[in-house]
Structure 1
Amino acid sequence: MSMELQLIDTIFFSDKRKNLLLLLKNGPKTIEEIKTRLEVSSSPIMAQIRILLKDGLLVQKGDSYELSVKGKLIVPKMEPLLSTFQVFDENHDYWARQDLRTLPSHLLDRIGELGKCMELVPDKTHIFDYPQEIMDPLYKSKKVMEVSSFFRPGYPGLYLDLAKKGIEVSLVLERPIYRKLVRDYRKGVEEFLNMENTYLFVCDDKIELASSIVTDRFISLSMISKDGRYYNHEMVSFENSALGWGKELFNYYRDMSEQITQI
């Protein structure tokens, strides 16, 4: 086995070693501190410590163990990769269906920031509605930002209602969606634009995903499948790292869009 493969095996093929390395990223620990924090007994964890010492990832100083220079270079790079594994493993079937190339490359590289996600699948009687699981946190949010390339019948009423409750609402829509809103819901669009806590942007470039809603409470992501279809499934996360990721996604499309202040 090459040194590179041996190192990968050492790091990733033992939860005990992986957890120990991540723990020591925050500084040296004694064996008693390690046992307490990882909830392990002496014999099993000492076996893993010996392996990490042998592979040069740890050093012992007095009665404490800490990352070696090599460990300090490698371990911080473990977390993004482990986070990415977690995102894909927990919802494997969903992500396997999606065309991930539709995400901006700098955000796809950091998709692990979505953290713990859950897939929401609408029932047939509410196929075009927002999932009920996100409606309560949606109305408890202070800010709501959505990027969308498709039209939901509930759009006009929902976003007017949110804005009237004092929630800041920002929308980025593809030009055809904006035109449909103006054609079919002109009065509602005018009312929306006349409010102080609303922002509407129109994107002439193609928005490569179905929709993304990000608030100060959650992110909901709905993508286009590899066969070009939209299945109205939402991938939702309440992780803080996911909220930052979602804001970057919103800003990516907002920055290439034109702000609309009046029809």
Structure 2
Amino acid sequence: MTNVQTKKELSDEYQNVKYILTSGMRTRLLLSIYEESKNLEQLRNELKKPSATILHGLKELENINLIQKVQKHYELTSNGYLLTTNMIKLIENWYSINKSEKFWNNHDLSDIPESLLNNIYLLKDAEYETSTTSDLSNAFNKYIDLISESKELHIILPIYSENHFKHMINLLNENRLQSLELIVNNKILTSIKENPDLEENLIKHEKVRVKCIKHDLKLFLTYSKNFMSLTLFLKDGHYDDSQILIGKDENALRWALNLIQFFPIE
């Protein structure tokens, strides 16, 4: 398939998607019968629309093979189920992006794999925290509070930060942190080893595992059983510790784990 053919087919499909999304009734009908089939009376009571309006929308969806009528009940066809599933995903992605608009809009997203950007809806319940002029350390302090409550941490660390290292070492020495996995590039690992205190209390610590990656990643991800957090780099290349995204639900944790597992270890 050539690039021109791909663009043409995408353009054709866009018209089909537009046909659905530009009609509130067609969209609502698909969402209404997504999980279970319904008859006309149930649809009328739920959508608060007259029968004629609902029947017109149902007929339009039948004509393009997205729904079918089975013994007075309307249900999705296989095509309708697939389309509605992805429509819900699109809506949730849109919601997730808008909810944390400043976070996503201000930062470099180039090191987040496309597959995970496509699943940004998994972070729809994550909370965006930012520092303020009256509290410049708010985001960092939120992060320290989170790691202080964790027994196990997996961290993609793209920066050399003695401030972060100090807190990690304290948690290890106080036996509050039982396991720490650090994923860093060669440059950061070399810098850590050049600091005798860090090499002794971090690299050589029995509870610490250090893994090396080839990439100079522009994302700081922390994952544990209780939370995930993400901080990013600004588009000018500087690390931004003033904004953080924090998720504690199962979907956010799954997204973070997939991100950690995406990058190959040397």
Q: Same fold (TM over 0.5)?
A: yes
Amino acid at match of 1:132: N
After TM superposition, the structure 1 = structure 2 runs for residues 1-263 of structure 1, keeping only pairs within 5 Å, are: 7-13=16-22, 17-18=26-27, 20-30=29-39, 40=46, 42-43=48-49, 47-48=53-54, 50-56=56-62, 57-123=66-132, 127=136, 131-163=140-172, 164-184=175-195, 186-203=196-213, 205-232=214-241, 233-253=243-263, 255-257=264-266
Using the TM superposition, give the Cα deviation of residue 129 of structure 1 relative to its aligned residue in structure 2, in angstroms: 7.5
Deviation at 1:150, TM superposition (A): 0.9
Q: 2:151, 2:178 within 8 Å by CA — same for their partners in 1? A: yes
Q: 1:68-111: per-residue Cα shift (whole Å, max 9, x none)?
A: 24312312222332232222222233322223222223323333
The 1:10/1:216 distance shift into structure 2, 3 A limit, reads farther
Cα deviation for residue 153 of structure 1 reads 3.0
Q: More deviation in 151-160 or 192-201?
A: 192-201
Name the SS of the counterpart of 1:226 in structure 2.
Answer: coil
Could you tell me which residue of structure 1 aligns to residue 3 of structure 2?
none
Give 1:147 shift.
0.4
* 1:169 partner letter: L
Residues 1:125 and 1:61: Cα distance change in structure 2 (over 3 Å):
same
Deviations 1:19-55 (A, max 9, x none): 542453333234666678xxx4542697356414422
Query: What is the total number of aligned residue pairs between the two structures?
Result: 250
Contact 2:179–2:208 (Cα < 8 Å) also in 1: yes
Mean CA deviation greater in 128-137 or 153-162: 128-137
| RMSD (Å) for aligned C-alpha atoms | 3.3
Q: Name the SS of the counterpart of 1:55 in structure 2.
A: helix
Q: Is the 8 A contact 2:129 2:139 kept in 1?
A: no
Q: TM-score, normalised by structure 2?
A: 0.75
Q: Is the 8 A contact 2:126 2:252 kept in 1?
A: no
Separation in structure 1 between the aligned mates of residue 134 and residue 219 of structure 2, nearest angstrom? 20
Assess if the C-alpha contact under 8 Å between 1:115 and 1:239 holds in 2.
no
Unaligned runs of 5+ in 2: 1-10
The amino acid across from 1:242 in the alignment is: A
2: CA distance, partners of 1:19 / 1:134 = 40
2:152 touches 2:177 (CA, 8 Å); kept in 1?
Answer: no
TM-score (norm 1): 0.76
Code of the residue aligned with 2:119 in structure 1: it is R
Q: 2: distance between equivalents of 1:44 and 1:133? A: 51
Following superposition, the deviation at residue 173 of structure 1 comes to: 1.5
- C-alpha separation in 2, matches of 1:171 and 1:201: 6
Structure 1: runs of 5 or more not aligned: 258-263
Amino acid at match of 1:248: N
- Aligned counterparts of 1:240 and 1:75: Cα–Cα separation in 2: 23
Q: Secondary structure at the match of 1:228?
A: coil
Share of identical aligned residues, percent? 19
Native 8 Å contact 1:169 1:197 kept in 2: yes
